[in-house]
Structure 1
């Protein structure tokens, strides 16, 4: 005798539905547990540690040593021998090709990037000066230096970007100057020259 007649439902249908729903519930709970144990990577999301970011870069694999100098409202200087003053931090000091090689499994690997990074981790009002200094020349050639100033919070916003030429060892140039208002706004971006490295005991 047939279990399924025309227009009739089998007595097994409620049991089958119950098993199917139980299987769906189990699968859903398993997937939720899997996601909680191994959350997806948050690609493309930056966890900013600063309010303002300044990068100074010069051509990859260039052997010359360019230094970044900065001065905040307090008047004290930040440079590679004094990497922090209050909320101003020199996060990366680059010496050209010096210390840019390492040996991994018998192979020499070279990091071609030449870049110094300065972060300002708050918004104390006053004037900020950022200079670049051609500290040591290995090639005796001019070096194009790109300066980038960006506001990190509340969203990433480029405030200033340009390239200047340092032509000889010992040359210093003001890359960017700006003022932070008491409200935390960046105003008066300029390149009015002010020496910072000159006369400093290096």
Structure 2
């Protein structure tokens, strides 16, 4: 004759086993959820520390203006880097924007990055390659940032230069950086230093 309590004992054991498994699963899921923000933050910090350059020079002009403006940069001891010399030992021009020609976006933007931060004088020029509009000047915003190893990118300079005529080249900045990558006090000026149109 079968004992009617055998089934109850088996069901009780199954229930306890399922409860233990379910609690372990819930605990694992809770740990993963708590760790997710930390994993994402580590990825973001790694991405920023692997930024493509140390001295970043950006140039923007209004998206509705279909004109070709060029960014030219010069690092200490290096020749000028721009649209027809896009790479040097220190700087590389990553984007040569022709205005409306062959552009997938409306943004008018050029950028140069350096490898390392050599100490000495840097020159940043803007050049009106094509003909400017007849009714108004082109306002060109120039931004210089520095990214030291293991630090966040930090903007150090910003200005706006107006271009009014064909082949106009203006010096947006001349500045010096120390061997530690710091902006040398009182070194910033806009004294003319042509890089492509002659002195």
Which protein has the bigger helix share? 2
Aligned match of 1:163: 160
Aligned match of 2:17: 18
User: What are the within-5 Å matches in structure 2 for residues 98-137 of structure 1?
Assistant: 98-101=101-104, 111-137=105-131
From 124, 141, 144, the counterpart of 1:146:
141
Task: Give the secondary-structure state (helix, strand or coil) at the position aligned to 1:73.
Answer: coil
Give the 3 Å change call, closer, same or farther, for CA 152–16 of structure 1 in structure 2: same
Q: Distance in 2 between matches of 1:120 and 1:161?
A: 18
Q: Distance in 2 between matches of 1:52 and 1:65?
A: 24
Is residue 176 of structure 2 the alignment partner of residue 179 of structure 1?
yes
Task: Give the secondary-structure state (helix, strand or coil) at the position aligned to 2:85.
Answer: coil
Aligned match of 2:77: 74
Runs of 5+ in structure 1 lacking a partner? 4-9, 102-110
Q: Would you say how many aligned residue pairs link Structure 1 and Structure 2?
A: 179
Decide which moves more: 49-58 or 175-184. Answer: 175-184
Per-residue CA shift, 1:80-116, capped at 9, x if unaligned?
A: 1111111211111101101115xxxxxxxxx110011
User: What are the within-5 Å matches in structure 2 for residues 1-80 of structure 1?
Assistant: 15-26=14-25, 46=48, 47-80=50-83
> What is the TM-score when the length of structure 2 is the normalising length?
0.77
What RMSD, in angstroms, separates the aligned Cα atoms of the two structures? 3.1
Which protein has the bigger strand share? 1
Q: Distance in 1 between matches of 2:56 and 2:165?
A: 27
Name segments (4+ residues, structure 1) moved above 6 Å.
Answer: none
